[in-house]
Structure 1
Amino acid sequence: MSKDFKEKVRDQFARTADGYVRNSGFAKGDDLAEAARLLKPTTDDALLDVACGGGHTALYFAPLVRSVVASDLTMLMLKKAQEYISEEGGVENITFREADAEDLPFPAGSFTLLTCRIAPHHFPDVPRALLEFHRVLRRGGRMVIIDTLRPEDPEIADFYQDLEQMRDPTHVRTYTEQEWVAMVEEAGFEVHKTKTFPKTHDFQEWAKRAGLNRQGVQNLNNFFIQASAKIHEYFQIETFAGEVESYTDRKLLLYASRPAKKQPVSP
């Protein structure tokens, strides 16, 4: 990440930390249950949750593993996550660490599990982050990445890109399933499974969580309303009296592992 962009991310999520920490949509979901089913965590595992946000994924996995490190670029977000987890109670095996996903401050092979949920679309250099994930995972370590799925249709993909950048200037881009698989394999992982989950968003809550003012929310509303019928159908946009009530996007879960042994290089 460039220094200027890092500061933009820190500022954005410092301003909006409370909204993310208190959002129930991050605290639960079929994607978390599926991640646990695939990762098969045990009390011998040490898990790194990259770009932990409000700490919901870290809290979900904490009772299932030996230890969790919840890392995030934004210190205020980490503090809010720590407060939230302390209030929830019941876990004492989570530590918090300020960290850039593209330059993780951990020794090689420090973790047996890694999660990164609804965050990579903020990374300017996802391939670099994936190389870091590979480095800090032990051989045989398992990883789940969950993020918003980029639509295959170019018109819908362009609409979604514009929409997200209107809402949040730290949004970089999303990726298709094919792009994700290629990047993860290029980083040295073996991809075992992908799965897509629909996620419905309350429009007002989703827009305001990013810190938009009234005019910003209205601009987003109009952008949705004026979209083509194809886009309305894809996102299942629900409206009433000219106001958007909800829309549905898709999240991609990708499960992969670092091979237990070095793969032989073909002559």
Structure 2
Amino acid sequence: MDTKKDVQQQFGKSADSYVSSPIHKEGKDLQKLLQMVTATGEEELLDVATGGGHTANAFASIVKNITAVDLTPEMLVAAENFIKGNGHQNVRFLQADAENLPFSNEAFDIVTCRIAPHHFPNVNQFIKEVYRVLKPNGQFLLDDNVVPEEELFDHFYNAIEKRRDYSHFRAWKKSEWLRMLELAGFEIYEWHRFEKTFRFDPWCNRMNLSQDEKDKLSEYIQGSDPKVKDKFRIVIEENQVVSFQGEAIVLKAMKR
């Protein structure tokens, strides 16, 4: 089974839990994205891999129109119910692949993508597509989980994400994001590092893990290198993982 079918299968059954997920709904990273954007109220915005629709919902009141796309039909239904339930009528919903966007060149003023690119099997193709559909001086607002530069930490975080969610492809390093974007022609305008606390049970439950799968993942984390436990602030109580800390990058890149 390929990664994109994995994504559809995983998120098709998890759509509603992503709409209600506090880490997606209430993250400070979303407020930072709103602070970073330059908007007059006349912009056409594309939200790629909209998921539960939180980003599109947050931006709906500050731009003219939003096109929200996702690979998974069930996600689009959940997002539409959420956004229209909040009274926004300027968002349209479309099933589309982030690596093959069905839009003409220079169609949008702003592109957003939040907590999704770690699922994309060809992230460079996604970046090229964002660049293509943006107007000159267009803004790309990116927000995704990243890994530290050290290989041990990179391997650990990607390993636990893959064990939790087989549709996870790769969380990239901060340096990799900056490099990929600049090589595609973007200028990095502003970026921030965010710390994220993941509570183990809700993190597993969002992907509908069985108790046996949760126990095995907890054992794997508890058996990790002491440096890893320290770096990721892993909290263990009564032989169970309670929480750990990850990180995300939030950035604004400009098409010049």
Q: Which of the five TM-score ranges fits, normalised by the shorter chain?
A: over 0.9
1:30 is displaced (CA, Å) by 1.9
Aligned-partner Cα distance in 1 for 2:182–2:153: 26
Aligned-partner Cα distance in 2 for 1:42–1:230: 47
Q: List aligned pairs for 1:200-219, cutoff 5 A.
A: 200-219=197-216
Aligned-partner Cα distance in 2 for 1:18–1:32: 19
Aligned-partner Cα distance in 2 for 1:223–1:5: 24
**Aligned residue in 2 for 1:43:** 41
Aligned-partner Cα distance in 1 for 2:38–2:81: 28
Greater alpha carbon shift after TM alignment, 6-15 vs 100-109:
6-15
Aligned-partner Cα distance in 1 for 2:152–2:61: 43
Give SS of 2:88's match: coil
Please tell me whether the aligned partners of residues 69 and 96 of structure 2 are also in contact (alpha carbons under 8 angstroms): yes
Query: What residue identity is the alignment partner of 1:65?
Result: V
- Give the percent of matched residue pairs that are identical in Structure 1 and Structure 2: 37
**Aligned residue in 2 for 1:78:** 76
How many equivalent residue pairs?
256
Greater alpha carbon shift after TM alignment, 209-218 vs 48-57:
209-218
Please tell me whether the aligned partners of residues 48 and 98 of structure 2 are also in contact (alpha carbons under 8 angstroms): yes
> Do structure 1's residue 226 and structure 2's residue 226 form an aligned pair?
no
> Do structure 1's residue 139 and structure 2's residue 171 form an aligned pair?
no
**RMSD between superposed Cα atoms in Å:** 1.2
Aligned-partner Cα distance in 2 for 1:175–1:160: 10
- For each residue in 1:61-103, what CA deviation from the matched residue of structure 2 results, as whole angstroms up to 9, or x when unmatched? 101111111110001110111112223x221111101110000
Aligned-partner Cα distance in 1 for 2:151–2:3: 26
> Do structure 1's residue 236 and structure 2's residue 226 form an aligned pair?
no
> Do structure 1's residue 64 and structure 2's residue 38 form an aligned pair?
no
**Aligned residue in 2 for 1:7:** 5
Q: List aligned pairs for 1:109-120, cutoff 5 A.
A: 109-120=106-117
- For each residue in 1:209-249, what CA deviation from the matched residue of structure 2 results, as whole angstroms up to 9, or x when unmatched? 01211111111111111112211111111121111111110
Aligned-partner Cα distance in 2 for 1:8–1:241: 34
Aligned-partner Cα distance in 1 for 2:102–2:197: 35
Q: List aligned pairs for 1:90-169, cutoff 5 A.
A: 90-169=87-166
Aligned-partner Cα distance in 2 for 1:196–1:72: 25
Give SS of 1:190's match: strand
Task: Identify unmatched segments of 5+ residues in structure 1.
Answer: 260-267
Aligned-partner Cα distance in 2 for 1:224–1:5: 24
- For each residue in 1:103-144, what CA deviation from the matched residue of structure 2 results, as whole angstroms up to 9, or x when unmatched? 001111111011101111100111100000001111111111
Please tell me whether the aligned partners of residues 3 and 169 of structure 2 are also in contact (alpha carbons under 8 angstroms): no
Aligned-partner Cα distance in 2 for 1:116–1:42: 20
- For each residue in 1:175-207, what CA deviation from the matched residue of structure 2 results, as whole angstroms up to 9, or x when unmatched? 111110110011111111221000111110001
Q: Which 4+ residue blocks in structure 1 deviate beyond 3 angstroms?
A: none
Task: Identify unmatched segments of 5+ residues in structure 2.
Answer: none
Please tell me whether the aligned partners of residues 4 and 167 of structure 2 are also in contact (alpha carbons under 8 angstroms): no
**Aligned residue in 2 for 1:18:** 16
Aligned-partner Cα distance in 2 for 1:123–1:7: 11
Aligned-partner Cα distance in 2 for 1:215–1:41: 48
Give SS of 1:42's match: coil
**Aligned residue in 1 for 2:180:** 183
**Aligned residue in 2 for 1:29:** 27
- TM normalised by structure 2 equals 0.97
**Aligned residue in 2 for 1:252:** 249
Aligned-partner Cα distance in 1 for 2:240–2:40: 47
Aligned-partner Cα distance in 1 for 2:185–2:198: 34
Give SS of 1:161's match: helix
Give SS of 1:64's match: coil
1:15 is displaced (CA, Å) by 1.3
